Structure 1
Amino acid sequence: MLFGSAINKSAVFAPVLSPDGAVSLRLILREGEKFSPISSRLAAIIADPDTVNAIYVAWEAIRVRIGTSINGLSIDLDDESFHGLSRNKLRLEGDSISLAAFISFYMLFNNQFSNYQSIVATGAIRKKPLGYSIGRVEGVREKLEKTCLIKNPHQKTAIVVPKVNVKELDIANSVNDIWTVNQSLDFHCQHTAT
């Protein structure tokens, strides 16, 4: 069974770099047959143990906030994203998918992003001795440059990055809203598009 947000129908995308440039992968939640934060088909196209760990850390970070109600839900890619990667024989690497995974779960229980049809998020959630924090992302400009400058008149888009990365974006000219996430994993709107 596919899960949309109980509060809104926003689509969450994780931008990744490929040999052909930036690609946005749509994340979805699936009800799993077994207890696993990552669907088996997503796990099959991950080439880097850090990517698996990043999704688990995102799941743990949201579970600390909302409890066991996410048990049985797994992060997956929508069919178009999965088949696009498979067809091009691409595999996922890196940990910047963790913020998008976190937001996918977060939106089930919080309406902060309810007025957006599309959320594009990149950031690496890190497990620390006293909790969780967000880390700097490499290549944020390359991943998001087109997204910041292209407005879809049919949907409102939020771009979410770690606060330490926001200076790398040309937010004054962004046609989409820019949100940041701080070290406490709290979200703040930095720029509202006009």
Structure 2
Amino acid sequence: MKNAGDAPGLQRKAFLRKWVVAVTAGEALGFTIPAAVGGVLAVAAAPGFLVYPLMIAAGACEGALLGLGQSIGFGSSVVRRSSWVAATAAGAAVAWSIGMLPSTIAGFDPGSPSVIPWILVGAVLLLVSIPALQWLVLRRVVRPSLWWIPANAGIWAVAILWTFAPSPFIDETTALPTLIAAYLLAGLLMAVTVASLSSLAALRVLQMIPGQQTETTTN
């Protein structure tokens, strides 16, 4: 039989399991939107002035679903769902607006020494965009919480590598269903990575809120 001392451990496991499932589902479903939109635009050879705003909008939708998954993982008593979803959607829109710049700017040469500093700055801004805007919500709940930004930026730096995985296997002749499927698989792997690696950061937030540990596991 389990004794009373096992309760905190069971509660932590329940929270971590709920977080990983909810965040994986939210990000995986969310990523289907830019994957599908991007695939259709690529096959249609859409002009850049359409691709850029449409992909940012699709990225914002991805962020909204990610934020929803995270807010479900946290529980309604930890973060205000509407604020968290809005912040995550805005952060994702910023990230996509930065990430799409190299393919949007005419004559952009990533191998040129003069643009390397800009690439580094852009990469940092891209990685911190979501957690930085989430922090604006989180700081109202726990202090100190600034650590959320570098912790999650590091997580995204690892997870986002999955989005480059399909590149060696696709080109302009790849059929649309294959193209979308390749990126959906990459998105799923990215979602699992984000959910798994961020679970401990989310648990730390939970543990910093007095009286919320048991309540969150039941939401």
TM-score by structure 1 length? 0.30
Structure showing the higher strand proportion among its residues: 1
TM-score by structure 2 length? 0.28
Larger of the two Rg values belongs to structure: 2
Pick 1 or 2: higher relative contact order, CA cutoff 8 A, min separation 6.
Answer: 2
Structure showing the higher helix proportion among its residues: 2
